[in-house]
Chain A
Amino acid sequence: MGSGGMVVMDDNNCMVSTAKFFLEFTADESCGKCVPCRIGTRILLDMLTDITEGRGNEKDIETLEDLSRDIISASLCGLGQTAPNPVLTTIKYFRDEYESHIKDKWCKAGVCRDLCTFLIDEQLCKGCGACLRVCSSKAITGEKKKPHRIAQDICVRCRSCYETCKFDSIKILPASAMEGKTKKLLTVNSELSTKIW
């Protein structure tokens, strides 16, 4: 952003959501005087929202880039001239994340709730119960020292279990990973997870 402030992130951050966050801010703060900034930032934001909610299509990345460049060249002040930068740079350095959001409907960081499924790898789970305790929607069940399970119809995909697990046994898979299978008590075994990962 304008002043050159720095934000440090790791692979737990979804780059599409990060770009969306900055666009929410600039779309809100656009003063409305010039059209490219007023309408352009809104369209960018709508497109990013679509991508994060699973409605993206393959031409979106190109359109985002074109539109961003137009906004930068036609805006009156520094706000419009820099507002699309988060979009352009995230596409430049994290294009694969955009592609997996659009093509695979998969947010690998598990941030976009419509684009991920959380599953417990039976072979890695030690049954320590840490995830069970942090789950706010009580979607996780299981006995001590035995692999736990996440009930997909209750899970709200808040990431708490993923952040808590010390054994990396919670995997983030595409939302479609469980399609065609029973939606009740599901677990994933290592074969499935290695196949997808």
Chain B
Amino acid sequence: MERFRANVMLCAGTGCVASGTMKVKAALQDELKKRGLENEIKIVLTGCNGYCAKGPVMSVYPDDIFYQALTVEEIPKLVEEHFLKGRPCQKLMFKEPEEKSPVPLMKDIPFFKYQVLRVLRNKGLIDPEKIEEYIARDGYQAAAKALTQMTSQEIIQVMKNSGIRGRGGAGFPTGMKWEFCSKVPSDVKYMLCNGDEGDPGAFMDRSVMEADPHAVIEGMIIGAKAIGAHNGYLYVRAEYPLAVKRLQLAIGQCYEAGLLGKNIFDSGFDFDLEIYQGAGAFVCGEETALMRSIEGKRGMPRPRPPFPAHKGLWNKPSVLNNVETLAQVPLIILNGADWYKSRRMHH
């Protein structure tokens, strides 16, 4: 394995890409090459850090130094000062509006300081396009545990005990939803993920899908095992091209690694997953409309009951969960219901 002196984690979420990440990356590459540092410093494109207002942003590990509002013009100076001379470049650091002294470390910046990262545990730390980096951060451990050591009932029980509720907004208890569906006898069931985030100004699903696509897939594998589904769809709106691309890559890597497809983890459990791109209708974020849309029909809701747990996609029992809900699932399985309960908000 190649070893590098420092890792440059350059934010490549949609916000930072729009403000010029790719140009900065090219300039950085050129400059590192010019200085003969390309084998010492590694550039990693990460998911969204949530600090899009000051994009493009990057952090340099192992020092954890955070730079913001990068421009192509600043790069030569930055490379010379930081990577050649070892003097972090103060000009590009975060400053409190009223104060003059810069805050060099990401963990000292107020915006990041008070964040406790769970769903976004890997944001800014891994390359979302590489499955190895997700696995190195305990990725697919939960899926392995769920598939090889737990029964469907046990998974559902953990989910119910944890008290997790749907993050799409309605807040329906996820464990109960899975239980309803698991009790319906059927040879074909579907595990679905709702990535059709269309509210004006809402981007939480996008940042999860872009920063950590494997967490969503892992959540779906666990959910599929719990309800007994062998097919799944990730419904993502086509207006999120980067999320679609990264999920597509992630699914491909999973098939290669044997984490999707036949006999996952030698457990005898099969699960196939594919992406369905939404065509831009807001109402397709509603579960029954979303299912009609996957069927290729006009996306319109229908009255419930029958609930999707009984008659969902193609009239087969189906479970639809929000992106963020699914990204929590691996954590709950790995750390237990009590861990999750102790950290959730009290209503």
Contacts and interface: CB of A to CB of B under 8 A. Distances in A.
Interface of A: 1-5, 7, 21-22, 25-26, 28-33, 76-79
Contact of B200 (A22, A76, A79): A22
Nearest to B280: A29
B303 A76 contact: yes
Highest count of chain B CB atoms <10 Å: which of A1, A21, A28, A30: A1
Shortest 6 CB-CB contacts between residues of A and residues of B = A29-B282, A77-B301, A5-B202, A1-B199, A3-B169, A31-B283
Interface of B: 168-170, 197-202, 204, 281-283, 285-286, 288-289, 298-303
A106 B131 CA distance: 58
Interface of chain B, main secondary structure: loop
Contacts of B201: 5, 7
B301 A2 contact: no
Contacts of B303: 76
Contacts of B301: 31, 33, 76-79
Given A2-B168, A7-B201, A31-B299, 19 more contacts: A1-B199, A2-B169, A3-B168, A3-B202, A5-B199, A5-B201, A5-B202, A5-B204, A25-B200, A25-B282, A28-B282, A29-B281, A29-B283, A31-B298, A32-B300, A76-B302, A77-B283, A77-B286, A79-B283
11 contacts: A2-B168, A2-B199, A3-B197, A3-B204, A22-B200, A25-B282, A33-B301, A76-B303, A77-B283, A78-B170, A78-B286
Contacts, number: 55
A3 to B, nearest CB: 4
Given A31-B300, A31-B301, A33-B300, A1 B286 contact: no
B79 to A, nearest CB: 37
Contacts of A31: 281, 283, 289, 298-301
Contact of B169 (A4, A7, A25, A77): A4
Nearest to B283: A31
A3 B168 CA distance: 5
